[in-house]
Amino acid sequence: MKKVRIGVLTGGGDCAGLNPAIKWVVKSALDERLQSERGVQYEVVGIRDGWKGLVEVDPESPAPGESIIQGFDVFRSMLLTQEVVRTWDRYGGTFLGTSRTNPYNPKNDQSKTVLANIEKLSLEAVIAIGGEDTLGVACKLARDGVNTIGIPKTIDKDLPGTDYTLGFETALNVITEEVDRLRTTAGSHKRIFVVETMGRHAGWLALEGGESSGAYIILIPEHDFSMDKVNDLVLEAKGRGSRYDIIVVAEGAKPAGGGEFVVRDGVDGFGHKALGGIAEYVAGEIQNAAKLDTRSIVLSHLQRGGAPCAYDRRMGRYFGIAAIDLVVKGDFGKMVSVRNGEITAVPLEEAAGKPRLVDVHTEYDTDRYNGRRTILNHITEK
């Protein structure tokens, strides 16, 4: 029987749903009942630490199967069996590790090393699980002749070509739970809390997290806000007898006429700045102008952590199975996706396009700075 070796890796920020996807890539590839139908015996090699693993892997080291015993960290790869991944879907993060290494970084182009190592490792396909940066690399590798498949992952849910990305729903649960906890101290002290979520370009986390947790004000990158209006809304709520309020703001949100708030200088391998500080700014402005006790809190990496929720476990399963379906069909250069409730696939070029943003005309109330208050008004009565 023909033997085919597949590589799988996770890149970018960690999140819940990665391990379930890896598990079902492995289980689907190694399914004994399907082997005879396919006429192919697959072998799955886990690449450690994202694209960094394919830059630093030593193809002359012991075979991937041996590295499990000898310490696979040294060799940047490991053989994945059904027994190895049996319990992985119960855990958050990624057991393969991750990084933000960009082999196509113009300042240090290592793409030729990656291409050479893929060939030396005899990988006939590479499945990359990640967001815009990781899948952008997969897209470039596809153009360079590598058989690549993408699985969408980002808690920002901003990848084009798919209605869902792994990690989003679990992150929403975290935001909701943390805001619920803040309400007890906010109510006790008559405070306003400004909660900063992730979301560089897209406000899905802040918007849907704010809606889920019942936030009074939600600020997103897609619509620059007026600080005067925020203060007016806060004072309006105070006048109605509100004891406290919760404001949720995405890290990429900006005051009108201002720019993004940056934590530190410099950029990562993909040219991204480290954003942060908008919640502290908003809290300070409310404190000074409205004279109300206001505090800020940054959820940061808490949103990435924890065990995957039921939805991310199921979507990890479906995406993992679909990725192997594409490998079996030889339909490479695609990203598995979900559209209108159906698992499908789109070209990687589409996934590497412009971010999927909140439509402020249909999803956001620019007057209340919150989620929409009408849903069925577009339907014409007969």
Which residue numbers are catalytic? 156
Q: Which two tokens stand for residue 212?
A: 């889920």
Question: Would you call 176 helix, strand, or coil by DSSP?
Answer: helix
Nearest to 212 by CA among 229, 195, 224, 228: 195
Q: CA Rg, the chain, in Å?
A: 23
15 Cβ neighbours under 8 A, 6+ residues apart? 92, 93, 153, 154, 155, 166, 167, 170, 171, 304
328: phi then psi, degrees, rounded to nearest 5: -60, -40
Is there a contact between 172 and 274 (Cβ–Cβ < 8 Å)? no
142: phi then psi, degrees, rounded to nearest 5: -60, -40
Q: Residue 342 and residue 346: Cα distance in Å, rounded? A: 12
Count how many Cα atoms sit within 13 Å of the Cα of residue 360 in the half-sphere of its side chain: 14
Q: How far apart are the first and last CA of the chain?
A: 62
